[in-house]
Structure 1
Amino acid sequence: MSQPRAVITGIGVVAPSGVGADAHWKSVLDGSSKLAPITRFDASGYPVSLAGEVADFDPDEYVTPRLKVATDRWTWHGFAATQEALDDSGVDLSAMDPYDTAVALASSSGGNEFGQGELQSLWAEPDGAVSVYQSIAWFYAASVGQISILHQLKGQCSVLVAESAGGLDSFAQATRTVRRGTKVVLAGGTEGPLSPYALTCQLATRRLATGTDPDTAYQPFAAGAAGYVAAEGGAVLLVEDLDHARERGAVIHGEVLGWGATHDGRASRPGDGGDTGQVARAMRVALERAGRQASDVDVVFPDALGVPECDRVEAEAIRSVFGDDVRVTTQKGRLGRMYQGGAAVDVATALQAMRYDTLPATPGLTEPAPGCELNFVTEPTTQRTSLALINARGFDGYNTALVVGRYEEES
């Protein structure tokens, strides 16, 4: 018997590019940098000064006062992206059996800002204390737990932790959950890496860019690449059983067709860009599971770390799978790296590209680095887009590829 098909019917984005799928798409086509000096805290003592912040985000529009004091900013973004996805999908959760609904999100580091604030309160005074919410607000699964409680999602709920790769793993998990009988699953992830403690942890990787020009600090695949710029936010998308979506007359944005996950088998070290073969294998497995050939893919959204040795490895892997002709595009250099959230945002961008038959540009890439000469989209291009492959790589060797396609009546 054929397996149930998992389609995407709702898109929610909360990122430096804006709040909502439409705002995000407009920003992506505009191509202007959303990176700017850090305002979340005083970063003057750090070698890194830029970040991708979600400007003008008002948590009070999405988070009740009771939940606001019990959760971190990354969970606020999760609440907002979830509500955007639910509104976009038109699904009425109150009319569903709660055991037919679930959530599977990814997180790299949980609620850093909340945790740091509470620990500072503890040690600032002799009789200092932490909030009763300290034990749960920082936790990797906090957003999954809070969102499932808020919306009464009582099916199999999951949190994926694989640095940036988990943002794609969540869609694989959501699709597996749909195939096991769950009707609606929220997938994706958000991140809140902009706090003093969080930035200190990220600096230990020695992969963050120290440039001060928002237009050139983060240049994936470029001759001037010198690391990445961290960003907050992400995306939550609604993955749904096709029959259920049809029954309620939902608008279908696309379909999750296949995925592949591999591991390099070694720790990430300076100068080591990872295992080309394992990056390529993840893409080949994703295509095989999707039942598609490399020649069927219209566009690749790469991980685009901006670290020269990592970019070369990914470029070599893409060429080994697709040759020199497949179109490649990334917007991370203008939005920042949202870790798990960035992978989910790439899925949202791919679906918008299919909706509008437009490939967004890779802004600012005028001179690819040696070994990174791919067929980059250099300006927004009108082109029918039916199949996209998204890559995500995580620190210490995680590689995941996801294939999403335009919804067709016959799979």
Structure 2
Amino acid sequence: MSVSTVVTGLGIAAPNGLGLEEYWSATLAGRSGIGRVSRFDPSSYPARLAGEIAGFEAERHLPNRLLPQTDRMTRLALVGADWAFADAGIVPHEVSEFEMGVATASHSGGFEFGQNELKALWSKGGQYVSAYQSFAWFYAVNSGQISIRNGMRGPCSVLVSDQAGGLDTVAQARRQVRKGTPLMVTGAMDASICPWGWVAQFASGRLSLSGDPDRAYLPFDAAACGYVPGEGGALLVLEDADHARQRGAVNVYGEVSGYAATFDPRPGSHRAGGLRRAIELALRDADASPGDIDVVFADAAGAPEPDRVEAGAITAVFGPRGVPVTAPKTMTGRLYSGAAPLDLAAALLSIRDGVIPPTVHVHVADEYDIDLVQEGPRALPVRAALVLARGHGGFNSAMVVRQVDR
């Protein structure tokens, strides 16, 4: 069996575009989805901006029986999986149930569902709490609901490592494909823009308090003041390359060719962080050199110290201004576990179309000697891309995707 794992389907839901082509056209045009929170009144909170998905009506895509069971993030995940299957040209119920598996990531679980049920408990009593609360809030619920809806009885898992989890779970899916499962759905959708989720996110101390959507999230900028949270992400269909070839897959966006994860030392230890090593190990796993990488999709924390660390790791591996760097999440906000799969999708679309999406609103500070793609997309043949993701608490992940010769 081939050890090559390829991406054959993409399902995207992002603040600046619902669906693959809508997201991609908005991203190349530099259109942002960041604005004032509308899902609740944020007036009493210090942070009031988010990347929200507009126009998503779950009842148009899902059966009514699923709506009372599911949080917004799960509805996005179910629809994203449907779109990924359709993009891959796969009808799940026509595939053997044990030949399909699911691996997703989660950051916070079904916060909004949990908030609503706890509100009912406090205000009305336990008899008014939905039985679905027992699982609708849970980190693994997206994997479970996707597998049930599509009759998938292969490997099923969830990873929780903040934003890094979005890459870690794709690596887990690749691992399952290499072990013999021909097809895996992987990636993540997150959605925790509700008062309870907002307070939890604000507690990190990393949210931007700016009220200007154009100046609130500025990674690698001298005016960086934190990040703007968002909702959404991407689901990907991964297949064994031979399986994709034999069934005549229409789309083969690229190969997941390299991955690594490291963990930072404890704060105050004065030891180097692990991001550079994650990059080097991912390149080694992909049997690639720094010169083989055409673009880096940055984690883009949006705060001076983590930005300095990331820029330093990139320049240490690739040299000063040695590779184009981009952060299209400046148009969506940081989507937690959904951010890295969305960046992976953007990297694969960059390979498909030969164009690197821009980073918006940022003016790179002199201390960061990186070639940040700004002022519009950059036309450039992209054969291989590196995607970086870091999670709160010290998680570092790096993944290489490359063009597949057909």
2:310 to 295, 310, 314: 314
2:350 to 349, 353, 360: 353
Aligned to 1:375: 371
1:278 to 274, 277, 285: 274
Structure 1 residue 275, shift from structure 2 partner: 6.7
Aligned to 1:23: 22
Secondary structure at the counterpart of residue 347 of structure 1? helix
- Contact 1:217 1:228 survives alignment (8 Å): yes
Give matches, 1:249-398, under 5 Å: 249-250=248-249, 251-266=251-266, 276-324=272-320, 325-366=322-363, 368-378=364-374, 379-398=376-395
Structure 1 residue 127, shift from structure 2 partner: 6.0
Alpha-carbon displacement from aligned partner over 1:91-119 (angstroms, at most 9, x marks no partner): 13222211010010000010000000000
Give matches, 1:24-43, under 5 Å: 24-43=23-42
Q: 1:156 to 1:29 in 2, by over 3 A?
A: same
How far apart in 2 are the matches of 1:79 and 1:242? Answer: 25
Alpha-carbon displacement from aligned partner over 1:41-84 (angstroms, at most 9, x marks no partner): 11111001110000111111222111110010000110111111
Aligned to 1:199: 198
Q: 1:37 to 1:294 in 2, by over 3 A?
A: same
Structure 1 residue 370, shift from structure 2 partner: 4.2
Aligned to 1:10: 9
Q: Which runs of 5+ in 2 are unaligned?
A: none
Aligned to 1:154: 153
Aligned to 1:96: 95
Kindly provide the amino acid, as one letter, of the partner of residue 131 in structure 2.
Answer: V
CA RMSD in angstroms comes to 1.5
How far apart in 1 are the matches of 2:125 and 2:151? Answer: 41
How far apart in 2 are the matches of 1:33 and 1:192? Answer: 18
How far apart in 2 are the matches of 1:200 and 1:361? Answer: 31
- Contact 1:276 1:313 survives alignment (8 Å): no
Secondary structure at the counterpart of residue 35 of structure 2? strand
How far apart in 2 are the matches of 1:181 and 1:321? Answer: 34
Kindly provide the amino acid, as one letter, of the partner of residue 343 in structure 1.
Answer: A
Structure 1 residue 5, shift from structure 2 partner: 1.0
- Contact 2:2 2:241 survives alignment (8 Å): no
How far apart in 2 are the matches of 1:395 and 1:42? Answer: 27
Identity of aligned residues (%): 44
Q: 1:353 to 1:127 in 2, by over 3 A?
A: closer
Query: Normalising by structure 2, what TM-score?
Result: 0.97
Kindly provide the amino acid, as one letter, of the partner of residue 309 in structure 1.
Answer: E
Aligned to 2:186: 187
Q: Which runs of 5+ in 1 are unaligned?
A: none
Q: 1:311 to 1:74 in 2, by over 3 A?
A: same
- Contact 1:258 1:290 survives alignment (8 Å): yes
Secondary structure at the counterpart of residue 285 of structure 1? helix
Kindly provide the amino acid, as one letter, of the partner of residue 98 in structure 1.
Answer: E
